[in-house]
Amino acid sequence: MASLTIRKLDDAIKAELRLRAAQHGRSVEDEVRTILRAATGGDMPADNTKYRIAASSQGAVAAQDSGKLRATLIISGGIAAYKSLDLIRRLKDNGFIVRCVLTHAAQQFVTPLAASALSNQRSYTDLFDPASEFDAGHIRLARDCDLIVVAPATADLMAKMAQGHADDLATAILLATDRPVLLAPAMNPLMWANPATRRNVARLIRDGVRTLGPNTGSMAEAGEAGVGRMAEPLEIAARALEMARPPARPLDGRRILITAGPTHEPIDPVRYIANRSSGKQGFAIAAAARAAGAEVTLVAGPVGLPDPAGVTVRRVESARDMLAEVDAALPADAAIFAAAVADWRVANAGEQKIKKTASGFPHLDLVENPDILSTIAHRAEGRPKLVIGFAAETEHLLANARAKLVRKGCDWIVANDVSPATGIMGGDRNTVHLVSRDDGAPDGVGVDSWPAMGKDEVAAHLVERIAAALKEPAA
Ligand code: CTP
């Protein structure tokens, strides 16, 4: 049967093929196979981007179709490269299809043939390899994967990465990728300790690259020991799996509403009543809910925190503004009221700055603000399935939280002690008790006390609980 050499096709056809292949995330060879199959079998579905290729048992397309993870493993030139051959096997055990790239120096230690035999894939070595570069192979190796593992990562390769060099296949891939990158450094302990390496590693970590190891132990050089051994293949393969797995998104398709921060209640145009809430806990919950896949609206009082990525943020000043924005953001599946709303506002707020007078102090009449949590929780129609309040207390924490649960009509109260000694208000850590309705408990209220943890961790745990509760059928 005649064979077809894509390289010999007209330039215009090659350009069209490259474009189609890039659009479909396939290699040019697989794109050609797809087109030929469709032309001969006529079984191309209407949405050809979802077209499945039965023929190819190798490469990324087969990986995509079978839902397997794909790793590009870059092996750079150090004695630890021999362990990378074992790493190929460990990555495969963890469900990865592995494509190997060997630097010039790596080939002094292991051969592309060994890497290919173990990975059952072609290995790559040259940036200017006509067989793969006619369709921009380095770009495919950089992007057509779930992550890139560099093991061993030598001091030299990391220095080049930190500087953004791209003068060989490995560095070109690392510069062109938008995938997570895991480095497993390995080198002599003095090279690892050298300020230049420390600088480069710190720079790479700041750029978002993850590192594992090096471990402590004896070196290949006689009598040398210290920090510099490559992490074990099992460890690297486990970390790779953790990084490549799509994160669980248990709140996909849910709408979540969160209030956060203090409110400011004007006394006159320049003065206001406020409290010490930093908004950190509410913002952390918004970020965690977003990371879990929810569509999140955060109604925030005046705080100096940046908008969490992907969250719709409505900035407000007063309790009444906050209630209006909460109303506008409904309906929601769950609403979490983490704001420290001022209980009172000044009824007779001055339109001009209040001046000192000889006749004594100004008289301020206070009126109660709307209770936003209670208003929403008691709604007969349009009440979120799950309504969660916070109780910030300085004494009788659990007794006050239980009373608030009942009085405000919410489903859960997250209670925390905000006495100044705890450092919780404005700080980064929190110790909370989740108080909820529990028909099994003697007084109908259950308390789950969590250990002290970062506000981000509290947020992640709370989001997990919310996701589980939203899955339960309505009572
Ligand atoms: N809350 C609210 N609107 C208010 C006051 C409070 O939505 N006007 C919400 C808070 O966001 C929090 C819960 O109610 O979720 C409890 O707030 P907290 O300040 O602890 O309680 P208060 O209702 O203000 O009661 P007290 O001041 O007596 O402790």
Q: How far is the CA of 460 from the centre of ligand 1 (A)?
A: 23
Q: Which of 94, 120, 200, 275 is catalytic?
A: 275
CA 442 to CA 434: how far, in whole Å?
Answer: 17
pLDDT tens string 197-244? 999 999 999 999 999 989 988 777 777 778 899 999 999 999 999 999
Q: How confident is the model at residue 62 (pLDDT cuts 50, 70, 90)?
A: very low
- pLDDT value of residue 9: 78
272 CB near ligand 1 (under 6 Å):
no
Same fold, 59-244 and 255-347+364-471: yes
Superfamily of segment(s) 59-244: Flavin prenyltransferase-like (3.40.50.1950)
Q: ∠156-182-219 over CA atoms, to 5°?
A: 55
CA 339 to CA 262: how far, in whole Å?
Answer: 6
Over 60: is that where the pLDDT of 472 sits?
A: yes
- pLDDT value of residue 131: 65
262 CB near ligand 1 (under 6 Å):
no
pLDDT tens string 70-129? 999 999 999 999 999 999 999 999 999 999 999 999 999 999 999 999 999 999 998 877
Say whether 416 is catalytic: no
337 CB near ligand 1 (under 6 Å):
yes
Q: How confident is the model at residue 369 (pLDDT cuts 50, 70, 90)?
A: very high
In terms of pLDDT, which residue wins out, 45 or 22? Answer: 22
Q: What is the mean pLDDT of residues 390-397?
A: 92
Q: What is the mean pLDDT of residues 352-377?
A: 92
- pLDDT value of residue 27: 75
Task: Find where tokens 């990391």 sit.
Answer: 158
Q: How confident is the model at residue 20 (pLDDT cuts 50, 70, 90)?
A: confident
CA atoms within 13 A on the CB side of 85: 16
Domain range annotation of the chain: 1-44+52-56, 59-244, 255-347+364-471
pLDDT tens string 126-139? 887 766 655 557 77
pLDDT tens string 241-278? 999 987 779 999 999 999 999 999 999 999 999 999 99
Q: Which of 275, 368, 373 to mutate to test the pocket of ligand 1 (most atoms within 8 A of CB)?
A: 373
Q: Both ends of the chain: CA-CA distance in Å?
A: 68
3-state helix/strand/coil string of 141-197: HHHCCCEEEEEEECHHHHHHHHHCCCCCHHHHHHHHCCCCEEEEECCCHHHHHCHHH
Q: How far is the CA of 49 from the centre of ligand 1 (A)?
A: 52
In terms of pLDDT, which residue wins out, 442 or 451? Answer: 451
Q: How far is the CA of 286 from the centre of ligand 1 (A)?
A: 19
318 CB near ligand 1 (under 6 Å):
no
For residues 303 and 261, is the Cβ–Cβ distance under 8 A?
yes
**What is the Rg, in whole angstroms, of the alpha carbon atoms belonging to the chain?**
30
Q: What is the mean pLDDT of residues 16-20?
A: 73
Residue-wise over 68-94: b if at least 16 C-beta within 10 A, else e? ebbbbbbbbbbbbbebbbebbebbbeb
Q: How much of the chain is helix, strand and coil, in % rounded to 5?
A: 40, 20, 40
Q: How far is the CA of 392 from the centre of ligand 1 (A)?
A: 8
- pLDDT value of residue 441: 81
pLDDT tens string 295-315? 999 999 999 999 999 999 999
Q: How far is the CA of 122 from the centre of ligand 1 (A)?
A: 63
**Of 212-216, 296-300, 331-335, 359-363, the least confident:** 359-363
| Alpha-carbon separation of residue 58 from 21, 282, 348 (angstroms) | 16, 48, 76
pLDDT tens string 150-207? 999 999 999 999 999 999 999 999 999 999 999 999 999 999 999 999 999 999 999 9
Among protein residues, the one whose CA lies closest to atom 22 of ligand 1: 343
Strands 412-417 and 432-437: what pairing?
antiparallel
Q: What is the mean pLDDT of residues 361-377?
A: 95
SS3 state at 459 = helix
- pLDDT value of residue 140: 79
**Of 111-115, 372-376, 404-408, 418-422, the least confident:** 418-422
For residues 87 and 65, is the Cβ–Cβ distance under 8 A?
no
Beta strands in 239-352 (DSSP E): 255-260, 265-266, 272-273, 295-300, 312-315, 334-337, 344-346
371 CB near ligand 1 (under 6 Å):
yes
Over 90: is that where the pLDDT of 475 sits?
A: no
- pLDDT value of residue 43: 44
Over 50: is that where the pLDDT of 48 sits?
A: no
265 CB near ligand 1 (under 6 Å):
no
SS3 state at 288 = helix
% of the chain with per-residue pLDDT over 90: 68
Tokens at 298, concatenated: 């955060």
Helix ranges, 278-318 (H): 280-291
User: Which CATH number is correct for 255-347+364-471, 3.20.20.20, 3.30.559.10, 3.40.50.10300, 2.60.120.260?
Assistant: 3.40.50.10300
Phi-psi region of 15 (alpha: psi -120 to 50; beta: other; left: phi over 0): alpha
- pLDDT value of residue 1: 57
- pLDDT value of residue 6: 76
Q: What is the mean pLDDT of residues 58-80?
A: 74
**Of 22-26, 223-227, 400-404, 469-473, the least confident:** 22-26
319 CB near ligand 1 (under 6 Å):
yes
Over 50: is that where the pLDDT of 429 sits?
A: yes
Q: What is the mean pLDDT of residues 337-356?
A: 93
Q: Average pLDDT, whole number, for the chain?
A: 88
